[in-house]
Chain A
């Protein structure tokens, strides 16, 4: 359960960051409320995951899913660069997350 909560926390983080970008383009209350919901959800699920997992592992994975997810969202939804370096870094992050799950 802790691992699922951690992935969900990372996804909420990704959602919150996407809403920050949206807020920059569209100054209305909707993205602002959604970004608050995103970060609140992110911290709640991370706190739950941390009860069972070591801090270093949980923190690194939380940040990693936020960063990789943000880059993937940017590529798919906002036409950001799909440069091979970005793809390689995303693969490194996801590979390391899977590896950490396997060794713990």
Chain B
């Protein structure tokens, strides 16, 4: 696990934090934290893209972000586990990751 991929993982962690914040923040402090989390997450993702293939970095980021928000829903906020919903989110995620990985492939061919 190298340093650049750690940035992607930490960016995804902050991504989950701001999504939780957008739903649950209710005072100045929680909103400040939410905005900070947006900035940190975005900054780390852009930084990681300077060294890593951007499509792959984004694919991992969005995969972790989605898994994190779905799990937070179920574990911390009592959202019921519905198989058909999880499967549809998995199909959606596969589509997003596919689109991003095709971008790297394309750039690889040009190079």
What CA separation (Å) do A3 and B14 show in the bound complex? Answer: 25
- Shortest A39–chain B CB gap in Å is 9
Secondary structure at the B interface, as helix, strand, loop or mixed, is helix
- Shortest A31–chain B CB gap in Å is 16
Q: List 15 A-B contacts (CB under 8 A).
A: A47-B22, A50-B23, A54-B73, A56-B71, A60-B66, A67-B96, A85-B102, A86-B102, A89-B96, A89-B99, A91-B95, A92-B92, A93-B92, A93-B96, A103-B85
- The answer to whether A56 touches B73, judged by C-beta atoms less than 8 angstroms apart, is yes
Residue B36 is within 8 A (CB to CB) of chain A in the complex: no
A63-B99 contact given A96-B88, A100-B88, A103-B82, CB 8 Å threshold: no
Residue A57 is within 8 A (CB to CB) of chain B in the complex: yes
Residue B93 is within 8 A (CB to CB) of chain A in the complex: yes
- The answer to whether B96 touches A57, judged by C-beta atoms less than 8 angstroms apart, is no
- The answer to whether A43 touches B66, judged by C-beta atoms less than 8 angstroms apart, is no
